[in-house]
Chains A and B, each alone.
Chain A
Amino acid sequence: MTARGKTSDFPLQHGFFVVFAIIFIFFSLATQHFFQLDNILNIFSAMDPLAITASGLALVVMSGRLDISVGSTAFLSCAIGALLMNQGELNPVLAAIIVVCCGALLGAVNGFIVVVLKVNSLIATLSTMIAYRGMALALTDALLVQLPPPIRFLGNTRLGPIPLDIFVMLVVLVLVHLLQTKTAFGRQIMAMGNDIAVARKVGLPVDRIGFFSFVLAGALASVGGILTTIQNGAVSPFLGSGLEFTALAVVVVGGISLLGGRGAILFSIIPGAFIFEMIRDGLTNLGADPYSYRLIGGAVIFAAMYADALKSGRYSMRRRL
Chain B
Amino acid sequence: MAVTQIAPAPLFAWPSRQRVVSAVLMIATLVAIGVYAPNFFRYHNIINVLLQVSLLGLLAIGMTVVMIVGGIDLSLPANTAMGAVLGALYMKATGDWAVGALIMIAAGLLIGLVNGFAVARLKMIPFVVTLATMTVVSGASVWVTNSLSISQLPDTFIDFFDARPLLGVPVTVLVVAVLAGLVAMLMRSSVAGRWAYAVGINDRAARVARIPIGRVILASYVFSGLMAGLTAILLTARLGSASANMGNDGVVLDIVSACVVGGVSIYGGSGRVPGALFGALLITILSNAMNLIGVSYYLSLIVKGAVIIAFVAIDGRKETKR
Residues of A within 8 A of B (CB): 64, 66, 113-114, 117-124, 126-131, 133-135, 137-138, 142, 196-197, 245, 248, 252, 258-259, 289, 291-299, 301-302, 305-306, 309, 315-321
Contact of A134 among B71, B203, B302 (CB under 8 A): B302
Please classify the interface of chain A as helix (H, G, I), strand (E, B), loop, or mixed, using the class held by over half of its residues: helix
Do residues A318 and B203 form an inter-chain contact, with CB atoms below 8 A? yes
Additional A-B contact list (10), CB under 8 Å, known A129-B305, A252-B128, A317-B203: A113-B313, A117-B313, A119-B312, A120-B266, A130-B250, A292-B143, A294-B143, A316-B203, A317-B70, A318-B203
Do residues A294 and B135 form an inter-chain contact, with CB atoms below 8 A? yes
- The residue in chain B whose Cβ has the minimal distance to the Cβ of A289 is B143
Q: Given contacts A317-B119, A318-B268, A318-B321, are A137 and B298 in contact (CB under 8 A)?
A: yes
Smallest CB–CB gap between A296 and chain B, Å?
8
Contact of B238 with A by CB under 8 A: no
Smallest CB–CB gap between A294 and chain B, Å?
3
- The residue in chain B whose Cβ has the minimal distance to the Cβ of A118 is B318
In this complex, the member of A296, A306, A319 whose beta carbon has the largest number of chain B beta carbons within 10 angstroms is A306
Q: How many residues of B contact A (CB 8 A)?
A: 57
B232-249 at interface with A (beta carbon < 8 Å): 249
Q: A120 — which chain B residues lie within 8 A by C-beta? A: 266-267, 312, 319
B302-322 at interface with A (beta carbon < 8 Å): 302, 304-306, 308-309, 312-313, 318-322
Do residues A294 and B309 form an inter-chain contact, with CB atoms below 8 A? no
Do residues A134 and B300 form an inter-chain contact, with CB atoms below 8 A? yes
Do residues B127 and A122 form an inter-chain contact, with CB atoms below 8 A? yes
In this complex, the member of B72, B253, B260, B312 whose beta carbon has the largest number of chain A beta carbons within 10 angstroms is B312
- The residue in chain B whose Cβ has the minimal distance to the Cβ of A200 is B320
Smallest CB–CB gap between A128 and chain B, Å?
6
Smallest CB–CB gap between A262 and chain B, Å?
15
| Interface membership of chain B positions 262-284, coded 1 if the CB is closer than 8 angstroms to chain A and 0 otherwise | 00001110000000000000000
Q: Given contacts A118-B318, A130-B253, A321-B126, are A123 and B309 in contact (CB under 8 A)?
A: yes
Do residues B143 and A295 form an inter-chain contact, with CB atoms below 8 A? yes
Q: B125 — which chain A residues lie within 8 A by C-beta? A: 258-259, 305, 309, 317, 319-320
B215-235 at interface with A (beta carbon < 8 Å): 217
Smallest CB–CB gap between B124 and chain A, Å?
4
Smallest CB–CB gap between B135 and chain A, Å?
4
Q: List 29 A-B contacts (CB under 8 A).
A: A120-B319, A124-B309, A126-B308, A127-B253, A127-B304, A128-B305, A134-B301, A134-B305, A197-B320, A245-B135, A291-B139, A291-B143, A292-B139, A292-B143, A294-B142, A294-B143, A295-B136, A295-B139, A296-B139, A297-B135, A298-B136, A305-B125, A305-B128, A309-B124, A317-B268, A318-B267, A321-B70, A321-B71, A321-B72
- The residue in chain A whose Cβ has the minimal distance to the Cβ of B138 is A294
B88-141 at interface with A (beta carbon < 8 Å): 118-119, 122-129, 131-140
Q: A318 — which chain B residues lie within 8 A by C-beta? A: 70, 203, 267-268, 321-322
Do residues B309 and A127 form an inter-chain contact, with CB atoms below 8 A? yes
Do residues A118 and B319 form an inter-chain contact, with CB atoms below 8 A? yes
Q: B127 — which chain A residues lie within 8 A by C-beta? A: 66, 122, 320-321
Smallest CB–CB gap between B308 and chain A, Å?
5
Q: B138 — which chain A residues lie within 8 A by C-beta? A: 294
- The residue in chain B whose Cβ has the minimal distance to the Cβ of A138 is B298
Do residues B309 and A309 form an inter-chain contact, with CB atoms below 8 A? no
Smallest CB–CB gap between A233 and chain B, Å?
24
Smallest CB–CB gap between B258 and chain A, Å?
13
Smallest CB–CB gap between B215 and chain A, Å?
14
Q: B71 — which chain A residues lie within 8 A by C-beta? A: 317, 321
Smallest CB–CB gap between B118 and chain A, Å?
8
